Amino acid sequence: MIKTQLARRMDGVAPSATLALAEKAKQLQAQGLDVVSLTAGEPDRAPAEPIIEALCAAAKAGQTRYTAVSGIEPLREAIAADLLRRDGLSYATGQVVVSTGAKQAIFNALQALVDPGDEVVFAAPYWLSYRDMALLAGGVPVVIETAFDDGFVLRPDALDRSLGPKSKVLILNSPSNPTGGAYRRADFEAIAEVLRRHPGVFVVADEIYRRFIYEAGAGEGLLGVAPDLQDRTLVIDGCSKTYAMTGLRIGWAAGPKPVIAAVAMLQGQSTSNPCSTSQHAALAALTGDQSWVDEMVATFDRRRQKVLELLSSIPGLRTFAPLGAFYVFPDVSGLVGRKTPSGQVISDGTSFASYLLESHQLTVVPGAPFGAANHIRLSYATGEATIEKGLERLAAAVTALS
């Protein structure tokens, strides 16, 4: 039998840990086990009815054929209008490309910007795909550690030390997956000052969770604070989180026209346009009533407070109060070295997550794929009853350790 030799670029790439764990939970549930999953990276509700109506209407009207690779013009206009409202910055439709989710937009951006050996810089804890996307582009991931006590926000002095002649792209994610940390105006001002000293560094601003903000002053973006960086910043966003449209796969990038043109060219040689009917649903989402989004965010804030309240009563865990997104990221260092009832030693967040699943049918995401081995990620994008049940099991699991 002939053995197929895979490309070397695949050597360092790992499958998505979050998707794998969510699938594992579904498999166990299908076997009849009462598994509680706190892994979901998507809102637990359907899109608003006008979005569904627009999706169905587009299909019935025969809008199921290819569109322009960059997306339909009305949707790109709506995205530009949304960016103008948000940060006061103007974008022509030629500076916007619609992709099959924000993930594809980031992937395409790194492919367009990064040459082999270029450094792609981002803060840890980080969304796990940044590292693998950088590697697939031939780049060198440069990870800057952040501190729990700083709210996992990248400090300007650490950034300045990490940037050098090979630094090509800085990825900024606010609010953050997995920590829920978010940058305030002063944080962005300090980072902008560093970037002005490094004019060769391009910024990819991942703002997919930007509508999920729970404290005043944490909802601004980099360009709202430093508009002079617009000509070397790509803003990434999409409909998945804000409008509960994860499966409809609509994201976008907005930025300098040459970069957008390159991203669109790559997209034309891979997926071509994003789903035609989903684009019409996205148009309805962006131009329709936004009050239901505000209501969803308020609901998630109540859940956030419930999760923090319940976690505070569990000894051995240290939890940062997230300012945005819909995750908490407890530090489990206080449990390391303790033993499970079967004699297994808890060595890090991964072994603790395995113990939770095997002994208490609770699924959480270990922190190692996010660059934080002694953490676990819990999502509160699920019902309050599920949250309470999951946290009860978490507390019981910790109590059972010796």
Least confident of 4-18, 90-104, 185-199, 253-267: 4-18
The strand order across the sheet containing 376-379 reads 327-328, 376-379, 365-366
What distances in angstroms separate CA 99 from CA 13, 69, 130, 203, one per listed residue? 22, 9, 17, 19
**pLDDT tier for residue 395 given thresholds of 50, 70 and 90:** very high
Rounded average pLDDT over 71-96: 97
Same fold, 8-46+292-399 and 49-287: no
From 380, 402, 381, 400, select the one nearest 391 (Cα to Cα): 380
d(CA 68, CA 331) in angstroms, rounded, equals 46
d(CA 60, CA 55) in angstroms, rounded, equals 9
Query: What is the value of pTM for the model shown?
Result: 0.95
Q: What residue spans define the domains of the chain?
A: 8-46+292-399, 49-287
pLDDT at 400 over 70: yes
* One CATH from 3.40.50.1000, 3.40.640.10, 3.40.50.2300, 3.40.630.30 for 49-287: 3.40.640.10
Look at the chain and count its residues: 402
pLDDT at 25 over 80: no
Sign of CA dihedral 42, 47, 48, 54: positive
Write out the E strands in 146-201. Answer: 167-173
pLDDT at 13 over 90: no
Does domain 8-46+292-399 fall under CATH 3.65.10.10? My reply is no
pLDDT tens per residue, range 194-245: 999 999 999 999 999 999 999 988 999 999 999 999 999 999 999 999 999 9
pLDDT tens per residue, range 363-374: 999 999 999 999
Q: Hey, is 235 helix, strand or coil?
A: strand
